[in-house]
Chain A
Amino acid sequence: MALYSEVVMDHFMNPRNVGIIENADGVGEVGNAKCGDIMKIYLKIENDIIEDVKFETFGCGSAIASSSMATEMIKGKSIENALSLTNKAVAEALEGLPAHKMHCSVLAEEAIKSALKNYYEKNNIPYDKSQFPDCENCAHCHE
């Protein structure tokens, strides 16, 4: 049996939405190079709809696949929809991740939330802080 599912390998070998968006409406970066995972998400938002999304990831195969899948899952969706995306949903869409790689899907969820938070802050839109996890250290993803 291979380490990763076919879906993970597809999204890793042919990642969707790689790149950056100039003058993005929201940018979020989580993780750090010390831990070996960094995800950066760029959002283009119009009328509460995510018109475009791009990502850059430094990390393992499952981190790249999780970024790719998560961006696909929020593209064209409402902000509300994107905010409700869970790491579990990302992992399920990838047809599962090995237990020690689940943190990669957590990182994807948090990168999107971080980008949305940045959008709220840029536009002075009030938001519920409890919706956004503290991503200051890696430990909570690696429990």
Chain B
Amino acid sequence: MFVYADNAATTKMSKTAISAMTDYYENIYANPSSLHTAGQQAKEALEDARARVAACLGCEAREIYFTSGGSEADNQAILSAAKLGAMKGKKHIISTAFEHHAVLHTLNKLEKEGYEITLLDVSQGHNVTAGQVAEAIRPDTCLVTCMYANNEIGSVLPVAEIGKVCKEKGVLFHTDAVQAVGHLEIDVKKQNIDMLSLSGHKFHGPKGVGALYVRRGVMLSNLIEGGAQERGKRAGTENIPGIRGLAAALEEACANMEENNKKVVALRDKLIAGLSQIPHSALNGDPVNRLPGNVSFCFEGIEGESLLLMLDALGICASSGSACTSGSLDPSHVLLAIGRVHDVAHGSLRLSVCHYNTEEEIEHILACVPKVVQNLRNMSPVWRDLQTGKREYIL
């Protein structure tokens, strides 16, 4: 049995999204910047897609800028806000300790350039509160950037409350919503979001295309100079097939959100209940405010890469935050940020499911994971030390 349970990494494209693209490879392939009719047809398709994406987020079409993906959108949003801040002498940025590297590495870069970065603690409840944000805001704060939902552990942040705090204090608010768009209801105006990043391939759309919502009135700086595409803010011939696919996938995901989530949450909760039976294990992430499809666990006494390899041999695609899967000595910064010690963080497993998964697949996972964990524990000197009392259990 083949079970794809790595939807937080990327998703299978929906048939709707694929069929929305092919016409723009085969027939309407002209450059939307061209004057001829064929070019103008492509231009219309581009603007139609923009309007449809905007409708899904509750904003105006002209507030949407298409990018190459979530990382580019994050970079552009943060660097733009930093530049605006510097012009007013404000060089303090607030974020969280468990952001995606597209955010954290951009902030590291700014720190080297003289900005001051505050990363909010996420060890309480594996989440942040709007109160933490309010407390951290200073007169020189130019940006708050907090993810909508965490990609590894599934915690959904109180975005609307954070947006309210930022609005009251007059600080720009960006959210990396790559894991949330198409999965959770978003209204950027109601939630007081100034900038939002999204990526097509996280909601059954194509890879290599994303978007940045920027509230009208916020000055965006270019990452890429060149032609006047995207209102002069993002040069390069538009990826029309990708943009069409993204818009179609997003519309489909939003239209079916309630129905999909009902199913996905049931699958998720079945997995969580089943895996919780494994002794000396712990669920990572906010147990209540949680992405519909995220299941993240730490199992004491084993290492995540070997767990993934054995699951792969059983047909299960999953991921882990262990050091061995990242190529570095340290396990995932997210697991360390929520307070998991190294020894335990190495033994992590993330299963991320979607509406394409079935009950039978969940049962296959639940039949395999406990066996594989036990198999690895049986050859682990750490597990023997835990069992013989030479080492104390952490979980």
CA distance A9 to B327 in the complex (A): 19
Q: Which of B50-58, B186-194, B283-291, B378-386 contacts A (4 or more CB under 8 A)?
A: B378-386
Which DSSP category, helix, strand, loop or mixed, fits chain A's interface?
A: mixed
**Nearest Cβ in chain A — how far from B364, in angstroms?**
18
Which DSSP category, helix, strand, loop or mixed, fits chain B's interface?
A: helix
Q: Is A76 an interface residue (CB 8 A)?
A: no
A sample of 17 cross-chain residue pairs with beta-carbon separation below 8 angstroms, ordered by A number, consists of A9-B313, A33-B342, A33-B343, A33-B382, A34-B343, A36-B324, A36-B329, A36-B346, A39-B381, A56-B384, A59-B306, A59-B324, A60-B306, A60-B324, A61-B305, A138-B329, A142-B329
Which residue of the partner chain A has the closest CB to B345? A36
- The answer, among B310, B331, B383, for a CB contact under 8 Å with A36, is B331
Q: Mark B336-357, 1 if CB is under 8 A from A, else 0.
A: 0000001100100000000000
Q: Assuming A36-B322, A36-B346, A64-B306, is B329 touching A57 (CB within 8 A)?
A: no
Q: Which residues in window 1-32 of A have CB below 8 A to B?
A: 4, 9, 12-13, 15, 18-20, 29
Q: Is A127 an interface residue (CB 8 A)?
A: no
Which residues from B are CB-within-8-Å of A108? Answer: none
**Nearest Cβ in chain B — how far from A96, in angstroms?**
17
Whether A100 and B342, one on each chain, are in contact in the complex, defined by CB atoms closer than 8 angstroms, is no
Q: Is A58 an interface residue (CB 8 A)?
A: yes
Whether B305 and A35, one on each chain, are in contact in the complex, defined by CB atoms closer than 8 angstroms, is no
Whether B306 and A15, one on each chain, are in contact in the complex, defined by CB atoms closer than 8 angstroms, is no
Which residues from A are CB-within-8-Å of B305? Answer: 60-61
CA distance A12 to B331 in the complex (A): 22
Q: Is A44 an interface residue (CB 8 A)?
A: no
Q: Which residues of B pack against A, CB within 8 Å?
A: 301-303, 305-306, 309-310, 313, 322-324, 327, 329, 331, 342-343, 346, 378-384
Whether A59 and B342, one on each chain, are in contact in the complex, defined by CB atoms closer than 8 angstroms, is no
CA distance A105 to B324 in the complex (A): 14
Whether A59 and B303, one on each chain, are in contact in the complex, defined by CB atoms closer than 8 angstroms, is yes
Which residues from A are CB-within-8-Å of B324? Answer: 36, 59-60
Whether A18 and B343, one on each chain, are in contact in the complex, defined by CB atoms closer than 8 angstroms, is no
Which residues from B are CB-within-8-Å of A29? Answer: 381
CA distance A64 to B381 in the complex (A): 12
**Nearest Cβ in chain B — how far from A21, in angstroms?**
13
**Nearest Cβ in chain A — how far from B395, in angstroms?**
13
**Nearest Cβ in chain A — how far from B304, in angstroms?**
8
Closest 3 CB pairs of A and B: A60-B324, A60-B305, A33-B343
The interface size bin for chain A is 20 to 34
Q: Assuming A35-B323, A36-B331, A138-B329, is B384 touching A13 (CB within 8 A)?
A: no
Q: Mark A99-143, 1 if CB is under 8 A from B, else 0.
A: 010000000000000000000000000000000000000100010
CA distance A56 to B342 in the complex (A): 20
Q: Assuming A36-B322, A138-B329, is B381 touching A13 (CB within 8 A)?
A: no
Which residues from B are CB-within-8-Å of A9? Answer: 309, 313
Q: Which residues of A pack against B, CB within 8 Å?
A: 4, 9, 12-13, 15, 18-20, 29, 33-40, 55-61, 63-64, 100, 138, 142
Whether A58 and B301, one on each chain, are in contact in the complex, defined by CB atoms closer than 8 angstroms, is yes
- The answer, among A20, A35, A142, for a CB contact under 8 Å with B384, is A20
CA distance A37 to B331 in the complex (A): 12
Which residues from B are CB-within-8-Å of A13? Answer: 310, 313
CA distance A136 to B200 in the complex (A): 47
Whether B342 and A34, one on each chain, are in contact in the complex, defined by CB atoms closer than 8 angstroms, is yes
Whether B380 and A56, one on each chain, are in contact in the complex, defined by CB atoms closer than 8 angstroms, is yes
Q: Assuming A36-B322, A37-B303, is B329 touching A58 (CB within 8 A)?
A: no
Whether B379 and A56, one on each chain, are in contact in the complex, defined by CB atoms closer than 8 angstroms, is yes
**Nearest Cβ in chain A — how far from B305, in angstroms?**
4
Whether A57 and B327, one on each chain, are in contact in the complex, defined by CB atoms closer than 8 angstroms, is no
Which residues from B are CB-within-8-Å of A58? Answer: 301-303, 380-383
- The answer, among A34, A57, A61, for a CB contact under 8 Å with B379, is A57
CA distance A142 to B327 in the complex (A): 11
Whether B342 and A18, one on each chain, are in contact in the complex, defined by CB atoms closer than 8 angstroms, is no
Which residues from B are CB-within-8-Å of A19? Answer: 379
Known: A12-B306, A36-B329, A60-B309. 7 other contacts (CB 8 A): A12-B309, A13-B313, A18-B378, A34-B343, A35-B342, A58-B382, A59-B303
**Nearest Cβ in chain A — how far from B153, in angstroms?**
19
Which residue of the partner chain A has the closest CB to B310? A13
Question: Which of B303, B313, B322, B342: most chain A Cβ within 10 A?
Answer: B303
